[in-house]
Copies of this chain bind each other. A is one copy, B any other.
Amino acid sequence: QKALRIAVIPGDGIGVEVTPYGVRCLEAIGEIYGIPLHFEEFEFASVPYYKKHGDMLPKDWKTVLSQFDAIYFGAVGMPDEVPDEVTLWGSLIKFRREFDQYVNLRPCRLIEGVRSPLAGRKPGDIDFWIVRENTEGEYSSIGGKIFEGTDREIVMQETVMTRFGVDRVLKYAFDLAQSRPRKRLTSATKSNGINTTMPWWDSRVREMAEKYPDVNVDKYHIDILTAHFVQKPNIFDVVVGSNLFGDILSDLGPACTGTIGIAPSANINPEGKFPSLFEPVHGSAPDIAGQGIANPIGMIWAGQMLLQHFGHTEAAEVLLKAVENVLARSEPDVLTADMGGRGSTKILGEAIIAEI
């Protein structure tokens, strides 16, 4: 069996703190299931690297990372030191785009032992996937300023959607919806206000829907959709959105299930032409960095998605089960602060490793 080659990029802030626990969980599972895993850690894509080299990445980053099957990514950015748009566009957003990881897949699940901020919701009530377009749309590199520094200053940024780019992510979302018992797909739109790109997005959804007569499709404008996430999250099964809308929904969704700290994210190049990237949904969280209190579950669960992605279904299930078991015990000394406990990254991380 060929080893899975995994490039580990801890990044900044709590990314550095949670990464070791993610790696150790993968190692533990890999040993049990005889999955050979080869890890190699990189210090680039971090603020310290940027400060030393004036760039987030080495010149040959694409060649270097292309030799891996997957990238296991912590979090990047220290906005007080370097602006976020520099660090993110210089690393994560570059990876997504240049490795054509056009699907960003994120689960929203209310899990036993994690308290939801929503009243009266119990485990099982919330259980859906968000499929986010991950390479184009509102995150465009086209834009600029005119009359800079004067009262007449104008700043523009172009949203760019392509049929190629939208159709392929819609196809992924429809396939996913079709594979699930409820077969329901919700499209996030804003065609009443954003009147060029979004009506067109709607028309692509309509056309794709014809090929999936068994999938139940609906759409909501993004404003009321965020309201529905809070008021009736149980109705969702698979939600598909543009780069920006998917970004918003995939923070809001996990927040509704208790904490962003446990949410994982897979940036997938479905064709496997380039490595896919697995990361927690949370960022580097400078406000709590260095205190050792970050929730390691987002990172660990991202590792679970990595295993799943490479077809190690049973190993992935066991890893998720270990996380669920630890959460279900709901021990205040073990859970981290974002879940109302007083545990540390280390305590919670070790508990999950022990459970495995």
Contacts and interface: CB of A to CB of B under 8 A. Distances in A.
Interface of A: 77, 79, 83-85, 88-89, 93, 115-120, 138-139, 141, 143-145, 150-164, 190-200, 222-224, 226-228, 230-231, 243-244, 247-248, 250-252, 254-256, 260, 283
Nearest to A160: B156
Contacts of A89: 195
Nearest to A248: B223
A155 B93 CA distance: 21
Contact of A155 (B115, B200, B250): B200
A91 to B, nearest CB: 11
B255 A230 contact: yes
Contacts of A260: 224, 227
A195 B89 CA distance: 8
A88 B221 CA distance: 13
Nearest to A83: B199
A164 B139 CA distance: 24
Given A199-B83, A251-B223, A252-B223, A88 B230 contact: no
7 contacts: A119-B119, A154-B161, A154-B163, A155-B196, A155-B197, A155-B200, A226-B226
B143 A196 contact: yes
Contacts of A139: 193-195
A93 B191 CA distance: 13
Main secondary structure of the interface of A (DSSP, over half): mixed
A83 B191 contact: yes
A197 B88 contact: no
Given A117-B119, A224-B251, A230-B230, 12 more contacts: A83-B199, A85-B193, A85-B198, A117-B118, A118-B119, A152-B162, A152-B163, A154-B162, A155-B200, A157-B196, A223-B250, A227-B251
Contact of A117 (B223, B226, B231): B231
A123 to B, nearest CB: 15
Contacts of A155: 160-162, 196-197, 200
A156 B164 CA distance: 14
Nearest to A145: B200
A2 B253 CA distance: 51
B157 A157 contact: no
Contacts of A222: 247-248
Nearest to A154: B162
A194 B156 CA distance: 11
Contacts of A194: 138-139, 157, 244
Contacts of A195: 85, 88-89, 139, 141, 143, 157
Contacts of A83: 191, 199
* A144, A161, A251: most-surrounded residue (chain B CB, <10 A): A251
Contacts of A255: 226-228, 230-231
Contacts of A150: 163
Contacts of A251: 223-224, 226-227
* A152, A164, A226: most-surrounded residue (chain B CB, <10 A): A226
Contacts of A198: 85
A130 to B, nearest CB: 12
A199 B254 CA distance: 26
Given A85-B191, A119-B118, A248-B222, A159 B160 contact: no
